[in-house]
Amino acid sequence: MGNLIKVLTRDIDNNAGNFFLDFENAQPSQSETEVWEKVNQVLMEAKVILDDLQTYKGAGEEIRQAIQNPNVEGVQEKAWAAVVPLVAKLKTFYEFSQKLESSLHCLLDILTSTDSTPTQHLEQKQALARQFAHILHFTLRFDELKMTNPAIQNDFSYYRRTISRMRINNVSSDSGSEVNNELANRMSLFYASATPMLKTLSDATSKFVSDNPEVPIENTTVCLSTMACVCKVMLETPEYRSRFASEETVLFCLRVMVGVIILYDHVHPAGAFVKTSNIDMKGCIKVLKEQPPSSVEGLLNALRYTTKHLNDETTSKQIKNMLQAN
């Protein structure tokens, strides 16, 4: 991800407090190690998941042939043989979303605990803040890839139709039986979302807040808004941005910024777009719009379609206009 990223945030917690957030090289202290190692295992798997999704080609041609030749047994068998291993991959992706949810809970437990302010937590537990950023980066990247790959839903729909037909005809599905009906229903709901991983994290963050009434909601929202501010300052300040050795670093920060905005919008009762929001939404959108359109269109769409409060009356016309699709 290039040179050491350090960012000086401005006026966080309204006290002009300066602190550096090292997104690249932060190492866990002794008190962080147990959680860090647990989350790190999930992040290692995340790389494999992204590689598998990136190379996911689908069984479009085999399915087309099977639909066009419904009575040719060999063609049907070929399509089924192509789809079953793909559905096993889709099952792995879905199950990974639950591991990600669990990791998010572990990190939020610590980063929002009441023994320090959220800003102090981010400053003092930088290795965990870095892991939180990597979870968000993975989430946005996964959803960008999923959104541009219609084969995923086509393959799964064909699989479900074929399984139903087999049940009606009392035909054994053999290798296809690893996805039972209940799991298939949950997977259908997951993949029906335009941004399934982001929806998982948004729901998980909202659940974390409702399940932990002893933790003030502000602990979670300030943690999220502080991270959004860190990313925005990093991206808009030439002396920080000039340290980025690659375009990937810019994309990393953009994805993390958009991820925390969406989580904030789901958790904060008034959302991210009101004037009183702790997030400078106009500034964040401006930073996004200054990037090459091809690299941020998916992120702008995530703000347009997966936030909760964008279309509220309390959102200014200027922000709505800034986010209008061209």
- Please state whether 292 falls in left (phi above 0), alpha (psi between -120 and 50) or beta: beta
- d(CA 279, CA 310) in angstroms, rounded, equals 14
Q: How much is the average pLDDT of 162-180?
A: 73
Is the model more confident about 13 or about 33?
33
pLDDT per position as a tens digit, 175-203? 555 788 889 999 999 999 988 999 999 99
pTM of the model as a whole: 0.86
Q: Given this model, what pLDDT does residue 175 score?
A: 54
Query: Taking 80 as the threshold, does the pLDDT of residue 74 lie above it?
Result: yes
Q: How much is the average pLDDT of 42-60?
A: 96
